[in-house]
């Protein structure tokens, strides 16, 4: 996909200080640093795919409501971590990233039996019209299956922590870095075409290089 030793995704963008996670500024920082971008997508009340990690707005916006309770216009009035930055619609990120680096888009559909395909159905027309490079992933295997069947040639993977589902037709698995061992990485590489590792904690670049070599990683999400 790229002429790189590995795919290196900035987890929720390259953020810190006055630049919040999953903000347009964090994604610009990642692009300028030559990194690919991992981001999270869920639906607003009016059915617009927005880029936001948590189900509720409490941690990032100090609002106890969930993302799905507010329209895009209402979400745009909220501040990310007390800054001037706002929650972006996915279309804004696609416009920013098109023709640049790879996007790794994580779907955040409703959990369990209430999965209703609404998010995936809203994403499909946006992504089919997108001319940039991207991949899809989710903790929800049904979401991954749905997208893979409808997006020809797009690599789709499953996210996991301490366990994993059967490979099915997934192109890769994104496994929690702190739970990886050499035995586990060998087992996963036998089952999946590609192995990624993710971490929400800062990882020293030297330690990251050692992990890539030790576990034979095809990509990292940091």
CA distance 176 to 57: 24
Q: What is the DSSP string of 151-203?
A: STT--EEEEESS-----TT-SEEEEEGGG--HHHHHHHHHHSSEEEEE-SS--
Q: Is 8 helix (H, G, I), strand (E, B) or coil?
A: strand
Of 8, 9, 11, 180, the catalytic one is: 11
Query: Residue 11 catalytic?
Result: yes
Of 53, 85, 108, 155, the catalytic one is: 53
CA distance 173 to 219: 10
* 144 closest CA partner among 176, 185, 183, 173: 173
Query: Residue 85 catalytic?
Result: no
CA distance 75 to 189: 41
Which sequence positions are flagged as catalytic?
11, 53
């Amino acid at each position: 996909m790229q002429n790189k030793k590995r795919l290196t995704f900035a987890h929720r963008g390259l953020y810190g200080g006055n630049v919040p996670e999953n903000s347009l500024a964090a994604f610009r920082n990642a692009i300028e640093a030559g990194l690919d971008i991992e981001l999270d997508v869920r639906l607003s009340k009016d059915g617009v795919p927005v880029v936001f990690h948590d189900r509720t707005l409490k941690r990032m916006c100090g609002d106890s409501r969930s993302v799905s309770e507010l329209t895009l216009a209402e979400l745009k009035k909220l501040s990310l971590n007390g800054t001037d930055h706002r929650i972006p619609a996915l279309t804004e990120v696609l416009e920013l990233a098109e023709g640049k680096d790879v996007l790794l888009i994580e779907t955040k559909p409703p959990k369990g039996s209430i999965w209703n395909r609404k998010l995936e159905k809203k994403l499909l027309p946006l992504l089919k019209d997108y001319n940039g490079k991207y991949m899809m992933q989710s903790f929800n295997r049904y979401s991954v299956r749905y997208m893979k069947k409808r997006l020809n040639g797009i690599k789709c993977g499953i996210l996991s922590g301490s366990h994993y589902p059967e490979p099915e037709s997934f192109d890769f698995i994104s496994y929690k870095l702190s739970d990886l061992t050499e035995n586990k990485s060998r087992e996963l590489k036998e089952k999946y075409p590609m192995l990624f590792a993710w971490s929400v904690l800062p990882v020293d670049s030297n330690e990251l290089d050692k992990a890539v070599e030790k576990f034979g990683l095809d990509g990292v999400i940091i």
